[in-house]
Chains A and B, each alone.
Chain A
Amino acid sequence: MENFLSRYRNVSILVAVLFAQVLGLAVQVKRSTENESTRLIRVWTVSAVSPLEKAIVWFQSGTSNLWHGYVYLRGVRQENRELKDEIEKLRLERVRLVDDAEQARRLQALLGFKEQYISKTTAAQVIGSSGSEQSRSIYIDKGSNQGLDKDMPVITADGVIGRVLKVYPSVSQVLLINDQTSGVGAILEQSRLQGILRGTPAGEVILEKVMSDETVQPGEKVLTSGGDQIFPKGLPIGTVSKVSAGPEVFLNIRVRPATNLSKLEEVLVITRKEERTATVAEPAPARAVDILSQRLPSVPDKPRESAVTTAGKATGAPNPGAGSAGSSAVTASVPAPKTPPVAKSATTSKPNGAQVATDAVPAPNVAPLAKGVKKPAVDDSSPSTPASVKPAMPQKPTPPAVKVSQQTTKPIDAPPKPEQQPAVTPAPPEDKPQ
């Protein structure tokens, strides 16, 4: 035996090393279902590699910031102007969304829905990858020291990218959604069909467990369903790119991820979610006469030549164009005031539909403009651009949280109401009942 071992020493060592590794693998595979602790060798390797990665990323981003922030500023003015325009449009859009969200919350409250809200996120920079085509994971520069924990969802502004798999003190490993061992509960936006999103060995993303008798169209958006208890409901994942008959009774649905998973630089880790039942803004007690007086056109106490005040002035928010044009308005032609919706905890969309718990205050409302008033510099192309109406007489008290309907904006060239209109004219037809 000794002679045999000495003769085949090298082969014996090879067999011994291979056997040890196979044994180690078997132990790990058996334990993988249990609460697996991080192996020391992983800690060592990550500790050895990640500082260098961090340093390079830091240097790279610093150089890039220096160049783009201080040197290469071509086109910044133009971009700034465009962004300001965009902000104006988004402000108006936000009013509508807050209103819609409030309506949805009321319905949810009626049904007793519990919903998850993203209440805290941590931004992190991608510093490395696994370096293997079979293991689609990345490393980010935040770890347990920054409050990260296992199974926290990781997103970008475009959508979901994965979840935290392993956490080290200053680094974390994130399993991407296109890895074959990942799984995300998903729902199709239009058809509301639910399935499980998985990665393939080739790095593609497929939606499984959708029955073949269902109809799914390419181009349909895929969102998180919240059923996996990891990702909050409603985060965008991607778009259906191809649908074909799959094995057994299921469809083979290929999904193109919303985020380019091969070009990740900065990500957001959702570090805290809150689950709570939707609440409705409680309106302050109001007298019926006050409500009625708001809804109906009012007659001023004293005739005034200029009584239209722009919402932008009143709320302190910019409303270009409207402020300078108020002087030519006729008081009697201004409809009764609308109190903007005040949501106790309305939801805003972030990112792309993810609900973030914020105490939302509606954006400034746009006052309707009477005849002869210049059109504000806002995009009127959107048919749903909302605005509520400021009272003709600012001194008139308005209940603080009475919910009003949407779509109160009137087109600028709409015929104004005659000045002789009686004070008891019914509310405008676009006002929805509460």
Chain B
Amino acid sequence: MPITYTSQEQVEVYRFSAPAAILIPLAALFLQAFLPLRLHFFSIFDLPLLVVIFFAVARRSQVSGLLTGAVIGLLQDSLTHHPIGVYGIAKTVVGFGASSLGVRLDVENLGARVLVTLFFYVVHEFVYFLVARGLVGLTLEWSWGHELGSAFANAILAAIIFTLLDRFKLRA
């Protein structure tokens, strides 16, 4: 068990059952594709990103985190009409970063979860923006107001969803 830099206490490392590890990302993808049709405002949320952050922080393994991010990102890419890999790269970076943070910091409490999500949402959007503009040639506009607003909304949703997903955690 890794030692945190903050409390010098041992932090828990969690794992997930195979069905949970498969079905939770699929459910997030499904809801992300389905709910904006009925609730248009839902498109500002990024459920797959929240799942990536949750898995990465809970597992506290960088390799596991980046691979989770890559797989979920690629699946999310495949629902769009853009080339596959834009979300993949962004979520790979987020998965690696979140798991690295999870190794060093105790991010289990509510406040830490909100802050981590806030931070990684902006990181995700920034990487997506760079890749989409630089590699794919999409014309995107960066708006701090929109990004920060979406980041806050996602952070609040993350606080709720992480509490629900805690039920699927198993001690490693």
Residues of chain A having any CB pair with chain B under 8 Å:
9-10, 13-14, 17-18, 21-22, 24-26, 28-29, 32, 39, 41-42, 44-46, 48-49, 52-53, 56, 126-135, 137-139, 165-166, 173, 175, 179-181, 201-202, 262-264
- Beyond A48-B26, A201-B141, A202-B141, whether A129 also contacts B33 by CB under 8 A is yes
In the complex, chain B residues 68-82 whose Cβ is within 8 Å of any chain A Cβ: 70, 74-76, 78-82
- Whether B33 pairs with A49 at a CB distance below 8 angstroms is yes
- Beyond A10-B63, A17-B66, whether A135 also contacts B33 by CB under 8 A is no
- Beyond A46-B78, A138-B37, A165-B81, whether A133 also contacts B26 by CB under 8 A is no
- Whether B137 pairs with A29 at a CB distance below 8 angstroms is yes
The number of residue pairs between A and B whose CB atoms lie closer than 8 Å in the complex comes to 139
Please report the C-alpha to C-alpha distance between residue A28 and residue B132 in the assembled complex, in whole angstroms.
Answer: 13
- Whether A13 pairs with B33 at a CB distance below 8 angstroms is no
B contacts with A: majority SS: helix
B96 at the binding interface (Cβ < 8 Å): yes
Binary per-residue interface labels of chain B (28-54) against chain A in the complex, 1 for a CB within 8 Å, 0 otherwise: 011011101100100110000000000
- Whether B34 pairs with A128 at a CB distance below 8 angstroms is yes
Closest CB-CB distance, B42 to chain A, in whole Å?
Answer: 9
Closest CB-CB distance, A167 to chain B, in whole Å?
Answer: 12
Cβ 8 A contact of B75, one of A10, A45, A56, A165: A45
Residues of B within 8 A of A165 (CB): 81
In the complex, chain B residues 105-154 whose Cβ is within 8 Å of any chain A Cβ: 128, 131-132, 135-141
Please report the C-alpha to C-alpha distance between residue A138 and residue B128 in the assembled complex, in whole angstroms.
Answer: 21
Stretch in contact with the other chain, from B9-17, B83-91, B160-168? B83-91
Residues of B within 8 A of A166 (CB): 81
Nearest A residue to B62 by beta-carbon distance?
A10
- Whether B83 pairs with A28 at a CB distance below 8 angstroms is yes
Residues of A within 8 A of B141 (CB): 201-202
Residues of B within 8 A of A134 (CB): 80, 82, 128, 132, 138, 140
A-B contact pairs, 20 of them (CB 8 A): A14-B96, A17-B67, A22-B85, A24-B83, A25-B89, A28-B85, A29-B136, A42-B84, A46-B79, A52-B30, A53-B33, A128-B79, A129-B33, A130-B33, A131-B79, A132-B43, A132-B80, A139-B33, A179-B81, A180-B139
Residues of A within 8 A of B85 (CB): 21-22, 24-25, 28
Please report the C-alpha to C-alpha distance between residue A13 and residue B44 in the assembled complex, in whole angstroms.
Answer: 31
Cβ 8 A contact of A14, one of B66, B83, B86, B140: B66
- Whether B30 pairs with A21 at a CB distance below 8 angstroms is no
Nearest B residue to A262 by beta-carbon distance?
B40
Please report the C-alpha to C-alpha distance between residue A1 and residue B66 in the assembled complex, in whole angstroms.
Answer: 23
Residues of A within 8 A of B79 (CB): 42, 45-46, 49, 128, 130-132, 135
Residues of B within 8 A of A48 (CB): 26
Nearest B residue to A42 by beta-carbon distance?
B78
- Whether A131 pairs with B81 at a CB distance below 8 angstroms is no
- Beyond A22-B89, A126-B37, whether A135 also contacts B80 by CB under 8 A is yes
Nearest B residue to A39 by beta-carbon distance?
B84
Closest CB-CB distance, B85 to chain A, in whole Å?
Answer: 4
Please report the C-alpha to C-alpha distance between residue A391 and residue B16 in the assembled complex, in whole angstroms.
Answer: 86
Please report the C-alpha to C-alpha distance between residue A32 and residue B74 in the assembled complex, in whole angstroms.
Answer: 18
B93 at the binding interface (Cβ < 8 Å): yes
- Whether A41 pairs with B75 at a CB distance below 8 angstroms is yes
Residues of B within 8 A of A44 (CB): 78
A-B contacts besides A21-B85, A49-B26, A132-B79, 20 pairs, CB < 8 Å: A10-B62, A10-B96, A14-B96, A17-B70, A18-B92, A26-B135, A29-B83, A29-B136, A45-B29, A48-B26, A49-B79, A53-B33, A131-B29, A131-B32, A132-B87, A133-B43, A134-B132, A135-B79, A137-B80, A262-B40
Cβ 8 A contact of A32, one of B26, B37, B83, B132: B83
Please report the C-alpha to C-alpha distance between residue A39 and residue B82 in the assembled complex, in whole angstroms.
Answer: 12
Nearest B residue to A180 by beta-carbon distance?
B139
- Beyond A21-B88, A263-B40, whether A135 also contacts B29 by CB under 8 A is no
Cβ 8 A contact of A130, one of B44, B75, B81: B81
Closest CB-CB distance, A125 to chain B, in whole Å?
Answer: 11
Cβ 8 A contact of A56, one of B32, B34, B137: B34
Please report the C-alpha to C-alpha distance between residue A130 and residue B87 in the assembled complex, in whole angstroms.
Answer: 12
Closest CB-CB distance, B48 to chain A, in whole Å?
Answer: 8
Please report the C-alpha to C-alpha distance between residue A139 and residue B80 in the assembled complex, in whole angstroms.
Answer: 10
Please report the C-alpha to C-alpha distance between residue A134 and residue B139 in the assembled complex, in whole angstroms.
Answer: 10
Please report the C-alpha to C-alpha distance between residue A13 and residue B67 in the assembled complex, in whole angstroms.
Answer: 9
Cβ 8 A contact of A25, one of B40, B92, B135, B140: B135
Please report the C-alpha to C-alpha distance between residue A136 and residue B76 in the assembled complex, in whole angstroms.
Answer: 14
Residues of A within 8 A of B87 (CB): 132
Cβ 8 A contact of A264, one of B33, B37, B67, B135: B37
Closest CB-CB distance, A201 to chain B, in whole Å?
Answer: 5
Cβ 8 A contact of A45, one of B34, B62, B78, B137: B78
Closest CB-CB distance, A247 to chain B, in whole Å?
Answer: 13
Please report the C-alpha to C-alpha distance between residue A38 and residue B90 in the assembled complex, in whole angstroms.
Answer: 22
- Beyond A22-B85, A32-B83, whether A133 also contacts B44 by CB under 8 A is yes
10 A-B pairs with least C-beta separation: A135-B80, A131-B32, A28-B83, A10-B62, A45-B78, A25-B85, A131-B33, A42-B78, A128-B33, A21-B85
Closest CB-CB distance, A258 to chain B, in whole Å?
Answer: 18
- Whether A13 pairs with B78 at a CB distance below 8 angstroms is no
